[in-house]
Amino acid sequence: MENLNRISYGLRNGLYNTNPHDCANDLAVLAGEYAFIMGRLEEILQRKPAVWTEMRTKFESDKACERAWEGTGDGLSESSLRLQAKSVEKMMSALKSLLRLAEDESKNLH
């Protein structure tokens, strides 16, 4: 989480605009963070069918069961991890754009 906060701060404050090396390094850091997040999400999604099927017997509809699932520890973690992954995807996209811009500017100088 520390890396995500640091990179988010850097993007919000334009700290990457003049340093493509930091941009590239943090893009690699984000790739690692994304892989870690998706691994944790995978673990939850592997457990979900069995838990959900058992929970479903207590509810009249799939929608009610899904709402109950969302209130469990795994359900809350699933939602959180999905949001974190989306945040990382957006930061990666921004860093890639900055890298492309730096590359284009470098080509125009030579």
pLDDT, position 78: 98
Is pLDDT of 105 > 90? no
Q: What is the pLDDT of residues 3-22, one digit of tens each?
A: 999 999 999 999 998 899 99
Q: Residue 33: what pLDDT? A: 97
1 pLDDT higher than 90:
no
Q: Please tell me the predicted confidence (pLDDT) of residue 110.
A: 64
| Dihedral over alpha carbons 36, 39, 43, 49 (to 10 degrees) | 130
State how far the Cα of 47 lies from the Cα of 91, in Å rounded to an integer: 29
DSSP-derived secondary structure for 23-75: HHHHHHHHHHHHHHHHHHHHHHHHHHHHHHHHHHTT-SSHHHHHHHHHTSHHH
Q: What is the pLDDT of residues 73-97, one digit of tens each?
A: 999 999 999 999 999 999 999 999 9
pLDDT at 25 over 90: yes
Give per-residue pLDDT as tens, 30-53. 999 999 999 999 999 999 999 999
Q: How many CA atoms lie within 13 A of 77 on its CB side?
A: 14
> With contact defined as beta carbons under 8 Å apart, do 53 and 65 qualify?
no
Q: Which residue has the tokens 């979900």?
A: 48
Judge whether residue 104 has pLDDT over 90. no
